[in-house]
Structure 1
Amino acid sequence: MNLDLGDTRLLIEVGAKHGLLRNEMAYVLATAYHETAHTMKPVREYGGEAYLKKKKYYPYVGMGYVQLTWRENYEKASRKLGVDFVSNPKLLLEPKYSAEIIVVGMRDGWFTGKKLSDYITLQKSDFKNARRIVNGTDKADLIAKYARQYDASLLAEGYGVDQMVSAPEAEIVPPPEPEKPLSKSARFWTWLGSGGGAAVIPLVDWKVQMLIVGAIIVVAGYAILTMPQARAKLEKLVSAL
């Protein structure tokens, strides 16, 4: 990606000032690239004045590198930066203000409550789900592709090389595995079998009772050790030894 396009250098400067990791900076740039129609300049929501005046949220329409919208978000930005964007919304088209809004806003979760560190850290670059910081999952795959390209460009320039970002370029946090139905759970049938064995102990002679007790101990131990929490603790104990 072209790091000299539009105000890209300004965004990188502001991101560095606020301590963004390289992969965090890459995602901010990817967001700006998408939201500004690839200009990397603060823009006003498409539609023209006549169209926008018909909207209930005029004049607090989407503006800037991240398309800040709605009066409450203008008020929040005003409080955070000490600039009255409510009385003068067009200040959001000034790069010095708009750059602070996209960088700090995405870092701290101004827009949706989600923030950069929820998805992007030294250990992971979940560029796809990071779209939730701004706008749900709209164009998430496309912006993730831009972020990977920006990450490579920033690395080539030496941005954040001392930060030891270890996440693969395309790392995506996998979705949680769906829980198996109870009827297909091996652990369920193990516990059920153990309970059934215990129930017949009084009905058989002592030799058979000993065999049943031994079997119950084995299957119960299996069921316990296949529980993720128990397995993790056992692995930690073994590694400590």
Structure 2
Amino acid sequence: MILLIDNYDSFVFNLDRYLRELGCETRTVRNDAISISEVERLQPQAIVISPGPCTPNESGESVAIIREFGATVPLLGVCLGHQAIAVAYGGQIVRAPEPIHGRASEIRHDGTRLFEGLPNPLTVGRYHSLVAEPESLPGELRVTASMSDGVIMALEHRQLPVFGVQFHPESVLTVGGHMLLKNFLSLAGIDSQTPPLPEYAPPVEEADFYRQPIGPGAGRLLR
């Protein structure tokens, strides 16, 4: 069973769907409706910390779960979850050079582990106004993907099965999102099904439409 920690964000439903499409059983619990002892009782095969608004310090039990289980349970953090990983190991979160709301961007990655078999550069969907500060990252975390300006797009722990992505693999704007999640499952020792056909993502130069906040809550602080 994959435990999804929901940081009050609708993208958690996309993550749940992608994981189920890969053949996983999932359970989704809100970040303030679960305790460390409850996670122990559930004995998940892996934990996914979802995106969400605001900051890691306002993400319920997310940071505590990373600190408690990072050494024993494979863990993936997405967007806010990625930032929570940085904070859990001593990093700092700062304002991004510019807020991003629904933009397809090209990132460069190291081609290993989470990114094995994925295009490089990789087009990904971004929704955030905060980022992990490179200078503050502790030695046990390493950057595995970034923007051309150095903004961190993915990291992993050097010894533990802990991975974070600032972008959204579950977004239609991301190429190969199912494959990235399948790679995580493989790293966690979990068998999965073949991903569906590659998702559509608009070319980066055609993605301007997605850059402006729209709809209710568009002015909220993005993670």
TM-score > 0.5, shorter chain as reference: no
Q: Which has the higher strand share?
A: 2
Structure number with higher relative contact order (C-alpha < 8 Å, ≥ 6 residues apart):
2
Max radius of gyration: which structure?
A: 1
Q: Which has the higher helix share?
A: 1
